[in-house]
A and B are shown apart, each in its own frame.
Chain A
Amino acid sequence: MAVTIIIPTPLRQFAGGSAQLVFEANKVGDALDSLTTKYADLRKHLFNDQNVLRSFVNVYVNDEDIRHAQALETPVNDGDTVMIVPSIAGGKKKI
């Protein structure tokens, strides 16, 4: 299945400057694995050391948040769009 991954602005420099890329995949996780195999520097921004999607990285398949579906096991179909969208979080030391 050919799916299009939309790369957010801050990560395009790690993806050859591309705003979107097409990969063959059956599940969201496969598409992201293909993306981060081709562009290895992207991986640390999307996954933590335990290989889990970072909490402030949101992934949508055709506007549906994969956390509300089957997470990285969410199936994808030909022509689907996988969108990576940042949440912005931070704050001072614990009080």
Chain B
Amino acid sequence: MIILSQPHVEAINAHGERDYPYECCGLLIGRFAEDGSKEVVETFPISNAREEEAKRNRFLIRPEELLAGERAAMKKGLDVVGFYHSHPDEAAVPSRYDLDHAWPIYSYIVVSVGEGTARDLRSWEMEGDRSKFNPEEISKGQQ
């Protein structure tokens, strides 16, 4: 389960709409709980590092950007707990490409942006053996 407040949902949706028809991406900063659930404390937008012609269907967060995000999170006693990205004019369901490039533990939030409007936001977690993504429950936190 991932705890996500309404302002975080709105920030992710707004980023997806702003970057449409390109894919947007960003970090989810927060806390891992003992029971395996995650709480998002802030979202951290990242500029999609993919080349111009690939941005409509690909995103990339470079290792140095992830490290910078991890260091910023650590200063606040937080962790990177996952990532978000948009699927322009496509369902909020991870693709084979998403699965091939995923890491365990992290939450992967996908927002579907249809014709420039965010329509659906879902969270996913990869199975430990890399075989598939499982839907992750989103709990709307207070904020």
Which A residues have a C-beta under 8 Å from some C-beta of B? 8-11, 13-14, 41, 44-45, 55-56, 58, 85-95
Interface size class of B (residues with CB under 8 A): 35 or more
| Chain B residues in 8 Å Cβ range of A9 | 79-80, 105
A58 CA / B106 CA spacing, docked (Å): 17
Task: Apart from A86-B66, A88-B83, A92-B57, list 5 A-B contacts with CB within 8 A.
Answer: A13-B105, A85-B63, A88-B59, A91-B87, A93-B95
| Chain B residues in 8 Å Cβ range of A11 | 103-104
| Chain B residues in 8 Å Cβ range of A45 | 103-104, 130
Cβ contact within 8 Å between B103 and A90: no
Which B residues have a C-beta under 8 Å from some C-beta of A? 23, 25, 50, 54, 56-63, 66-67, 79-80, 83, 85, 87-88, 90, 94-98, 101-106, 108, 128-130
